[in-house]
Structure 1
Amino acid sequence: MRNERPKKQPSILIIIALIGFPQLSESIFTPILPVLSDRFSVSGSTIQLVMSTYFFAFAFGVLYFGYLSDRIGRRNAMLIGLCIYLMGNMGLLLSSDFNWLLFVRMVQAFGAAAGSVITQTFMREAFNGEKREKIFTQVGEPLPYHQLLAH
């Protein structure tokens, strides 16, 4: 019999942060769409592609990172996803062309998907019964700031 180490339960703060990447990335862009439209000299309907491409790439990323995490492990797939997400963010920071903006927005969304799908898998594997229900509830309903600090 091999000597297995006990599974370490992830921190609720890390779980919330990883699951929050997609929502944060989406929420930041929504109010600045008119500014981006002016900055890149594109119409209001064209700038909506920033959101459409995000959702498309995110959906593809969920499928990809779900599969990848089963193949190479949760941690490795998460690290790859976070690196892709960071590269997308850096690309957004350096965007000077609308087509480049769309491309790096897709890169960002693709990487952000890892945080969503793999973290939910972490939670299903790390917690059981009532504890799992409590964690899913806490992640779905953000706690007040002072309660987050208590964890």
Structure 2
Amino acid sequence: MKIFFQHKYLLLIAIWMVGTSVMGGLATEIGPWYFSLKQPGWKPPDWAFGVIWTIIFVLSAIAWMIAFNSNPSPSQKNKIITLFFLNGFLNVLWSVFYFRMHHPDWSLIEACFLWGSVLEIILVMWPIRKLAALLMVPYLIWVSIAMRLNWETMVLNPGAY
């Protein structure tokens, strides 16, 4: 456990996790437009989103650390770093499209790229350490659920964007 927390990439991982969380939070504007939208009956309560994203980011950070502690090749490390930072960018961009620009249509298209970035992280981590890849599966599931929610919100609110 001591080696886990002394790893030289811990700061990079923390920057990704905190940076993505903070920027995504700042991009998420829950205001009159959002509250005017009809939502599917199965949508989780608004407070649950912060809890869900916190769990996903913690699991992702642990997965990243496990993968890096499993001695991947330098090219695998670079690919993981690149994919996580691309994923963080796409994560924040979704919030900008949806909450700031009020374009759930754009955010749904963008979510396909976000989903693909999570899948690619899983596929890159799988040969390095299966546990790391499996810890990313909740993220993939959540993005899938969010995409379905995004779609149903669009269907329930034609002309709201």
TM range (shorter): 0.3 to 0.5
- For normalisation by structure 1, the TM-score amounts to 0.40
